[in-house]
Structure 1
């Protein structure tokens, strides 16, 4: 089965962009609704726009946060960063419910409501992406470990081990003795052992 790897590669980017667009739509529709259609719904959309804008900017604010470790500011910021992925998705979906309560008199509120639902669903799917990335990382680490599992560290070789014996093996260069040379010549028929006129075998030692 072909996996859409490109979709998961740009999934977080698409989720961030849609979240920012949702905040922009909430601001625009909120201002328009509060001035001409329904003050109550418009005020609600403005409040939701503030919350959404802050939550969508947390990934940028987190890079420049200067709260000291263990301070009250740091604890509050940890709670803010905890609201992400499926928690942010559920929050967006819950905030969109009010946008559909009176679609006739406040029909413009349906538009940001749809954006909130779509953005919330993407954040729910981001939880699955995070779990999928963790499994892929663990499987890659397991394959790398099993690939090197059969190899031994050269530093662990000790004298007397098979690898040491092979590495230090030497080829013997000892010449055959005179008796052995004569036996080989007799076997080949080159000389007769009883022939006294046979040439003397040179001493190779």
Structure 2
């Protein structure tokens, strides 16, 4: 009987850039054959195929060496971030980590891409992703509806400004829940925002 594989998305978690340690690389390589290829996505993730029957065991191994593991498909992607070049506390790395923990891997009608950046330079590209967060001094601005690809590419629109940490988590989680409950099958978040209506979305999420 042919062994069935499952695809997982992995990365080194949220920190100072998209980095991996030698121990992490060696473990990843141990689950690959000589001719296998490792796909690097634009969302700071690596896609790897592993045997489905050993998935729990392999995920536990990945996590032991500090890798984060996410499902592949119609889920909320792990948070795309900047490199936190001015330091963890100043650019809000703890907030990014907590936000990622709350939303990454949640099932949605179509793959949803959130992004975070620790200052107005916006290296994490929050304005061209479905949900974008920019840290502005001690508060957070939230954008929705950005789209990076296609002829209809567009920047997101401001959804809420000067948010405290807890309010940011609350609104982002509500946005994702509203999309999960009201979005059509395979309806991108950007299209959902336009169909559902920005004002209607604010009424339900704020």
TM-score (norm 2): 0.22
Q: Point out the structure with the larger helix share.
A: 1
Q: Give the structure with the larger strand fraction.
A: 2
Asked which structure has the greater CA Rg, the reply is 1
Compute the TM-score of the two structures, normalised by the length of structure 1: 0.22
